[in-house]
Amino acid sequence: MTHLPTEFPDFGLTPEQRRHAVRGHYYEWPGMDGARGEIWCYSDRFSYRAGETVALHVSSTAPSFSVTITRDGGSETKLFEKSGIASRWQESPDQCSAEGCGWEASFEFRVGSDWPSGAYRITLIADGRDGKPIHSHHLFIVSPQPGRKPGRVLQVAATGTWLAYNTWGGSNHYQGITGPDRNQYSPIVSTQRPWCRGFVALPKDAPRVPLEVAVPPKTVPRYPHMEWALATGHSKKYASSGWASYDSHFFRFAERAGYHVDLASQHDLHFSPDILDGYDCAVFVGHDEYWTWEMRDAVDNYVERGGHAARFAGNFMWQTRLEDEGGRQVCYKYRARTEDPAYRGGDVTRATNSWEAPEIGRPGSATFGLNATRGVYAGWGGCAPRGVRGFPVYRPEHWAFAGTGIYYGDLLGADSHVYGYEVDGLDFEIRGGLPYPTSDSGAPDGLQVLAVGMASQVEESADIPIEDQFLTDEDGRFTAETLFGEASDANLEKVKRGNGMIVNFPRGKGEVFHAGSCEWVAGLLRQDPMVKRVTQNVLDRYLGKS
């Protein structure tokens, strides 16, 4: 087993700064780098097909910049370079997070017909006012052409979740500068703004959310990822979402393991659901929290017709709506029942609430077998900080575990810490030493529970004062109110103990495999042999190789 350090890493912050790193609201905004100058960029869309034109909207204090475009896959391939491109500073509206920046296009280029599907990192570099270079990163996706794709995997990037967590401009679906006192999260976020720092590229030593510290009893919770973010000038949410922390690790692993992988955005799924049709296997990874009704339809129909969906991801939580041809994402979340127009004469099934809200009538388990409201936090803060770091295995004879050498009761992925920081689960019961979903759990017919770990919806420790808690019981009370109509202590008691599962089930002519944890990709990043083997078992079966 991995031996963990017993002290938190020190990033040079004072106690006040450490507190601000967790509780404060800090974000990227135009002008933040002051005298040094800065350069920012976004593209008009998330994804393009070969032959289409990408418009880059650039705002810079420098009169010109250079651009490099690199495909970020199993290996890095530089495909485009150009220097001496004219630029200027472009003003942004105060509420650019919700409204979009509205910058004019500065530079356009055409996606080459020979550029393979995947993620393309744009690096912009210009001269800062102090003589040192300034730079920024952006990312766009080259989606596959339509048609049959035997032997290829389609990975769907969690662009809805990227949008929800993007801190650039001051507001996202978590914190914000909206509302009468400029202190509310925004239920509307725009695609027309740069990605925050850390979403596209990260150094290898950037901390992940789950704690890599052996926490002694009565220790006040600490959040190294947020401390590191404040100390290094990265987004507070870099470890919660984005290509760099999540989606990239699966894509690189799969290409290096010899799989042929294409990449699409969730927005492709929404507007062009037939993009799935050519594939035997579709993959969803990482922190994958925000979905539209249409995206779910695309996956459900694909699986019913014989497709195979593999989800190595956690926290299937919120329904969103897209507006302005996909330019804005709407999610009222905790304020949905009081503010979302869907509750005032609209179609309430499309309310931007938790999928498990009874009025929506479409729990997450109906698509991927598991529900976020029965899972959630593990391995950080006061939520099972000393809990299991891997999935406790109950059915080692299942085909997914072939060749792993794993036994009943073993922990899958503990050394690489694949369990956390948010997980999805179901109500279950143990019979004869094996877990089964309860009759009212919402589990699809034929679902097998392969592994189960513990999680929590609340931070609860009599030894930790409330002012030192970050998560507290707010999410638990929201879940209680969502499921049972009231956030009472009695209802909180029903929901506060969660779990995370690996499940497998048939649907129609197809099949779904779901390892319900955000951190599965950590096992691929850290080269965990058993996690890699399970991943390959799923891909091989779904591609017809086994």
pLDDT digits (tens, 9 = 90+) for 320-366: 999 999 999 999 999 999 999 999 998 999 999 999 999 999 999 99
CA dist 427 and 443 (Å) reads 9
CA dist 520 and 458 (Å) reads 22
Residue 361: predicted pLDDT: 96
Considering only CA atoms, which of 437, 151, 140 is closest in space to residue 268?
140
- pLDDT tier at 461, thresholds 50, 70, 90: confident
Within its chain, how far is the Cα of 460 from the centroid?
Answer: 26
Contacting residues for 130 by C-beta, under 8 A, at least 6 apart: 35, 36, 37
SS3 165: helix
Domain boundaries, the chain: 38-143, 153-160+241-317+354-543
CA dist 196 and 186 (Å) reads 16
SS3 526: coil
Cβ(44)–Cβ(100) under 8 Å?
no
Cβ(452)–Cβ(240) under 8 Å?
no
Residue 298: predicted pLDDT: 98
Question: Which tokens belong to 384?
Answer: 């099972």
SS3 content of the chain, % helix, strand, coil (to 5): 25, 30, 45
Its pTM stands at: 0.98
What does the chain come to in residues? 546
Q: Is the pLDDT of residue 312 over 80?
A: yes
Q: Is the pLDDT of residue 95 over 60?
A: yes
User: Among residues of the chain, what percentage have pLDDT more than 90?
Assistant: 94
> Vertex 458, ends 495 and 15: CA angle to 5°?
170
Residue 2: predicted pLDDT: 61
SS3 380: strand
The second-level CATH assignment, the architecture, of 38-143 is: Sandwich (2.60)
Q: What integer best gives the mean pLDDT of the chain?
A: 96
477-481 mean pLDDT:
95
Residue 465: predicted pLDDT: 77
86-104 mean pLDDT:
98
Q: Is the pLDDT of residue 217 over 90?
A: no
User: Among residues of the chain, what percentage have pLDDT more than 70?
Assistant: 99
Contacting residues for 83 by C-beta, under 8 A, at least 6 apart: 64, 65, 66, 67
Q: What is the pLDDT of residues 177-210, one digit of tens each?
A: 999 999 999 999 999 999 999 999 999 999 999 9
CATH of domain 153-160+241-317+354-543: 3.40.50
DSSP letter for 95, please: T
Residue 459: predicted pLDDT: 86
Cβ(495)–Cβ(479) under 8 Å?
yes
